[in-house]
């Protein structure tokens, strides 16, 4: 499987998200043969919807599936607990991660559940996410559930 080609689909979603002013995390779900089932991106800013991370939007767009063990989820950024829980509950067989430099995620927890992880350490994914975190730190921390620091006394 050409994972870099699959990542390009997720990265295109991330770039659109960045241009929209949103959190630039994109994702896509593929069948075992590489057929695209659905792609999506984080929609916190665009739709005011905190439930849609890149991974959950791609999962949603792919519609109802009865078995995910042979599916491939590709995401531009390492999955948070929310998206890791999605992967584990639905037994998504393979997860391709564009980068985990800006957010480490929980790879050991996924591996222990039998998920195959492919880490691509992609420089373009790293650079886009870094630009976003520098541009919009408040939105980024909101998106991963880190509350604002209390103001100084």
Give the footprint of its own copies on residues 58-77 (CB under 8 A).
59-60, 63-69
Q: Return the residue of 36, 90, 126, 133 that touches its own copies, per CB under 8 A.
A: 90
Q: Are 13 and 27 in contact (CB under 8 A)?
A: yes
Question: Count of residues binding its own copies (CB under 8 A)?
Answer: 33
Angstrom distance (rounded) from CA 33 to CA 126: 27
Residues in contact with 100: Cβ distance below 8 Å, sequence separation at least 6, in sequence order: 77, 78, 107, 119, 121
Q: Could you say whether residue 44 binds its own copies (CB under 8 A)?
A: yes
Q: Could you say whether residue 93 binds its own copies (CB under 8 A)?
A: no
Q: Could you say whether residue 48 binds its own copies (CB under 8 A)?
A: yes
Q: Where are the beta strands (DSSP E) in 42-86?
A: 72-75
Closest to 52 (Cα-Cα) out of 83, 28, 31: 83
Residue 55 designated active-site:
yes
Taking the alpha carbons of 66, 69, 71, 77 in that order, is the dihedral positive or negative?
Answer: positive
Nearer CB in complex with its own copies: 41/44? 44
Q: Could you say whether residue 49 binds its own copies (CB under 8 A)?
A: yes
Which parts of this chain interact with its own copies (CB under 8 A)? 44, 48-52, 56-57, 59-60, 63-69, 80-86, 88-91, 142, 144-145, 147-148
Active site amino acids = 55
């Amino acid at each position: 499987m050409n994972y870099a080609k699959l990542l390009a689909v997720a990265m295109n979603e991330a770039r659109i998200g960045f241009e929209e002013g949103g959190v630039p995390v994109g994702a896509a779900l593929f069948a075992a043969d590489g057929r695209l089932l659905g792609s999506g991106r984080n929609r916190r800013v665009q739709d005011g919807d905190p439930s849609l991370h890149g991974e959950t939007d791609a999962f949603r767009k792919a519609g109802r599936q009865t078995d995910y063990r042979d599916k491939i989820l590709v995401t531009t950024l390492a999955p948070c607990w929310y998206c890791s829980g999605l992967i584990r509950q639905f037994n998504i067989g393979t997860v391709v991660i564009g980068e985990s430099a800006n957010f480490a995620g929980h790879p050991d927890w996924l591996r222990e559940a039998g998920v195959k992880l492919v880490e691509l350490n992609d420089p373009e994914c790293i650079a886009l996410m870094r630009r976003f975190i520098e541009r919009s730190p408040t939105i980024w921390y909101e998106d991963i559930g880190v509350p604002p620091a209390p103001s100084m006394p």
